[in-house]
């Protein structure tokens, strides 16, 4: 059960948050111009890394803000937390 440092509220228990899967998958600006394969890539394909992973989290039982988390899935260490729209910190 991790402690997540919400960029808006500070450290809170994991039970206050929900995970929204892989981060930095931008919705295509012009979906109609994509082939089925390109759209499927956006829609379905997600990484499932053992190691450093970039994730979206939502402080759903708190400020309800979305933000990004850099987490090592092998040991649950959180290396960075940053707001939506910000660039991911360099590893």
Return the number of the residue (16 or 28) whose C-beta is nearest another protein. 28
What the block records as the tokens of 39 is 């759209």
State the nearest-atom distance from the C-beta of 2 to another protein, in Å.
5
Least gap, CB of 1 to another protein (angstroms): 4
Residues that bind another protein (CB under 8 A): 1-3, 13, 20, 26-28, 30-32, 34, 36, 39-40, 43, 56, 58, 60, 64-66, 75-76, 84-85
Torsion angle, alpha carbons of 55, 38, 29, 56, to 10: -10
Q: Where are the beta strands (DSSP E) in 8-76?
A: 10-13, 18-22, 52-58, 66-72
């Amino acid at each position: 059960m991790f402690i997540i440092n919400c960029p808006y509220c500070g450290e809170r228990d994991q039970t206050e948050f929900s995970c929204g899967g892989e981060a930095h998958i931008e919705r295509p600006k012009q979906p109609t111009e994509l082939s089925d394969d390109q759209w499927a890539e956006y829609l379905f394909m997600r990484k499932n890394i053992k190691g450093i992973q970039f994730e979206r989290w939502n402080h759903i039982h708190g400020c309800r803000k979305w933000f990004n988390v850099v987490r090592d899935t092998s040991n649950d260490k959180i290396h960075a937390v940053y707001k939506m729209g910000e660039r991911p910190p360099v590893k």
